């Protein structure tokens, strides 16, 4: 008889986490995207020239500040990457991999860890004042 996997205590698979993150109300998705963007700017504003952050720092910071609203930071990584790549397209940030700048047009081909740093159009005045950028605070 096959093992019943429905009562398994194993963590959610990456696919089910992604589905959970993607299936949100569009208005709610916009609120979250603004929180990701604000947090990205907040984190980068605290770095020195040329220093990088890991994209996972964005949802981790939101989870730390508001674990009820952002309970699973891993499920947020795809929409966070979308916000990061939008900022790359605008020249506000750069994505690096193994120290090399990666272009916006190559985003679909990238596998493995990436880092984010201030780009040529970065402006400290664009940084929002909240602690992590969570607009619900």
Residue 29's pLDDT band (cuts 50, 70, 90): confident
Sign of CA dihedral 22, 27, 33, 39: negative
The verdict on residue 115 lying in a domain is: yes
Does residue 4 register a pLDDT over 70? no
* Residue at 68 is within a domain: yes
Number of folded domains in the chain? Answer: 1
**110 touches 98 (CB < 8 A):** no
Is residue 8, in this structure, part of any structural domain at all?
A: no
* CATH number of the domain to which 71 belongs: 1.10.10.10
Domain that holds residue 70: 24-126
pLDDT band at 28 (very low <50, low <70, confident <90, very high): confident
Kindly state the helix (H) or strand (E) to which residue 83 belongs, with its residue range. Answer: helix 77-89
> What is the model's pLDDT at position 52?
98
Return the bridge partners of 101, or none. Answer: 96
Per the domain annotation, does 56 fall within a domain? yes
Q: Is the pLDDT of residue 1 over 90?
A: no
- Residue 11 in any domain: the answer is no
At 62-97, the pLDDT tens digits run: 999 999 999 999 999 999 999 999 999 999 999 999
In a domain, 6, yes or no: no
Residue 74 in domain: yes
d(CA 81, CA 90): 14
Q: Indicate whether 34 belongs to any domain.
A: yes
First to last CA, the chain: 51
99: left (phi over 0), alpha (psi -120 to 50) or beta: left
């Amino acid at each position: 008889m096959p093992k019943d996997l429905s009562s398994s205590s194993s963590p959610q698979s990456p696919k089910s986490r992604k589905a959970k993150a993607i299936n949100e109300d569009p208005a709610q998705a916009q609120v979250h995207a603004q929180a990701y963007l604000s947090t990205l700017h907040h984190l980068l504003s605290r770095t020195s020239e040329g220093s990088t952050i890991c994209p996972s720092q964005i949802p981790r910071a939101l989870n730390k500040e508001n674990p009820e609203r952002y309970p699973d930071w891993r499920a947020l990584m795809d929409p966070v990457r979308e916000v990061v790549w939008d900022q790359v397209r605008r020249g506000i940030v750069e994505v690096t991999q193994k120290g090399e700048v990666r272009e916006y047009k190559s985003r679909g081909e990238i596998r493995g860890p990436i880092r984010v740093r201030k780009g040529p159009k970065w402006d400290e005045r664009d940084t929002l004042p909240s602690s992590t950028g969570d607009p619900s605070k």
